[in-house]
Amino acid sequence: MMKRLLTLLLCLSLLLCLATQGEGGLAYLSDFSGGLDGWYARSAGGASVETDGSALLITGRSASWNSPGRDFALEPGVTYDISCQVMQAEADSADLMISVAHSKGGVESYENLATVTAKKGRWMGMKCAYTPGQYDKFVLYVETKGAPELSFSIRNFTVTARGLNAQSDLPSLSALYSDFFDFGCAVTQMEALNTARMDFYASQYNIMTPGNELKPDFVLNVSESRRLAKQDESAVAVRFDSAKPLLNYCQKNGIKVHGHTLVWHQQTPEAFFHEGYDAQKPYVTREVMLARLDNYIRQIMEYMDKNYPGLIVSWDVVNEAVDDNAAKLRASNWTKVVGEDFVNRAFEIARKYAPEGTLLFYNDYSTPYQPKLTGISKLLDSLIAEGNIDGYGFQAHYQLSSPTLAQLSAALETIASKGLLLRISELDIAVSALNDSVYDLQANRYASLMREFLAYSDQIVAVHTWGVTDDLSWLTNKNPLLFDKNLAPKPAFWALCELMQEEP
C-alpha cells in the first residue's frame, strides 16, 4: 500500500512540473509515467501515440512532420533550454529533430531546433536553446528528417526557462558618464520582448538602437509595395512590427532611441531597385528610385513622429557607403541606379522630413585605416557643404591591438576638426581566447579606448556598445562585450567604472 502511494505521489509531482513557475519561469519534465500528459499525434489522420509508463511511442506515421507534439505556454523573449531522448528500432539510423510550430493571427510557421542521428535500438539525447518570438501559440514536437513511416519513442522531455540573475547593485554606466555623453547599446527584437532583461539594460544604458529592426529589409513591405506599384512605380509601403517592442519599451521608460539605418547597400531587398518591385525586371530609373527613397524616408519619419514623438533623437541616414580599399564610394545598387550622389540625396530627403532637432549621422567602419579615412573625409566634406549632416558615427568593432591608439586618435581628430558631432556607434572588442588574462587585456583595451573618447567628449553625443551580453552579440564566439551570458559584469565593465574614479 505504502509503495503504491509513493508511486502515485511521484507521478503527481511530475505532472505538476508542467505548470511550475519558479525563479527561472516555466519548468517542465515528463517521463510519461503519468500518462500522455497532454501529448498528441500531429498528423492528418492515421498516426497515434501511446505510453508504456516510461516513454511515448508514435506509430502509423505517413509523413515526416507526423509527430508527438504538445502545446506550451512559452513567453516571447525568454530563453528556454529544451531536451529529450529519442529511440527508434526500425532503421540502421535515422535523423530526428525537436521542432516548434508557432502561430500568429492564425498563420502557422515552423523552426527546427535540434537534430540527432538515432542509431537503431539506442536511446539518443538532443538538446537546444530556444528564444521564442512574438507569437500567439507554440507547439513543441519531435519529427523525422525523411523516414516518413518510421515509428519512434521519446522520453524525458524537458523545457526549462533560464532565469535572469542580474546584479541589482551595479554602478550604472549611463550615470557614471552622464557628464560627458550618453551611454547606449544595441538591442534586438528578441531581447526587447523580455521585460526583465530590458529592465536590467535600462539600469545601465540611457539610449538604445535597434540592432536590425529599422533596417530596410525589416521596414520595407515588398509585397504591398509591389501591389501599389501597379498604379504608381514610386509608391512605397512600410511596416514597423519588428521594431515596436523596443520602441514601446523605450517610450514607456523614458529611454532615447537612435535609429539605424535608413539607407544601406546590405539588408535592403533587391526588389526595391526594380520595376514593379520584381527583382527579375529591369532596374527603375534614377528619377523613380529617388521618388521611392523620398516616399520611404517620409513615411518612416511621419510614422515615428505620430506614434513615438521625440523618441528617436538621431538617425544613421546612410550606412557604410565608402569602399574599404579605395577613397571612393563602394559600388552598389544605390550607385548603379541613383548615382554617386545617392548619399547626398538621402541626407537631403532626411533633412526635409526629420522632426526639428533630430540629428542626422553618416555611419561607417574601419575609420582609422587608409585609404578609407580619406574616402570618408571626402564624403563628409560634400555633405557638410550641402548643410544636411550633423555628425559621424564611428563603428568601433575593434581588436586588442588594432587599430592602434595613434590611428584612432588621428581619425578622431580628422573627423572632429570638421566640426561634426561624433557617435561611437558600435563598440565591441573581439578576443580569441576566453580566460582571465585575456579578459584583463580586453578590460585594459576598453579603458584605453574610452580615454580617447573622453578627450572628445565636447563633440561625442553617445557611446554605444553593439549589444549587451556576449552570447547575443553578432560576434558571439569572440565574447566582445561588457557582460557575459548570465548578465554578470566582466572585467571590461569594471574597467570603465574605475576610469571615472581616476584623477582628471
Q: Which residue has cell 563602394?
A: 330
Residue tagged active-site, from 233, 320, 348, 502: 320
Q: Read out DSSP for 240-251?
A: -TTTHHHHHHHH
* Range list of β-strands (E), 92-229: 93-104, 107-119, 124-130, 137-144, 152-161, 182-187, 207-210
Say which residues have a Cβ less than 8 Å from residue 223's Cβ, sequence separation at least 6: none
Q: Which long-range contacts (CB under 8 A, 24 or more apart) does 417-420 make?
A: 418/377, 418/380, 418/381, 418/384, 419/384, 420/380, 420/384, 420/389, 420/390, 420/391, 420/392, 420/459
- Report the Cα–Cα distance between both ends of the chain, in Å, rounded: 78
Q: How far is CA 83 from CA 27, 65, 95, 139, 194, in A?
A: 12, 19, 16, 15, 22
CA distance 221 to 9: 55
User: Is residue 320 flagged as an active site residue?
Assistant: yes
Distance between CA atoms of residues 229 and 271, nearest Å: 12
Cα atoms in the Cβ-side hemisphere of radius 13 Å centred on 123: 12
Distance between CA atoms of 444 and 452, rounded to whole angstroms? 13
List the catalytic residue out of 426, 452, 502, 503: 426
| Contacts for 171 with CB less than 8 Å, ≥ 6 apart | 497
For the sheet with 93-104, list strands across it.
Answer: 40-42, 67-72, 137-144, 93-104, 107-119
Buried b / exposed e over 198-213, threshold 16 CB at 10 Å, is bebbbbbbbbbbbbbb
SS3 321: coil
DSSP codes, 469-490: BGGGSTTGGG--SSB-TTSPBP
Radius of gyration in angstroms for the set of CA atoms belonging to the chain, rounded to a whole number = 27
Indicate which residues carry an active-site annotation: 320, 426
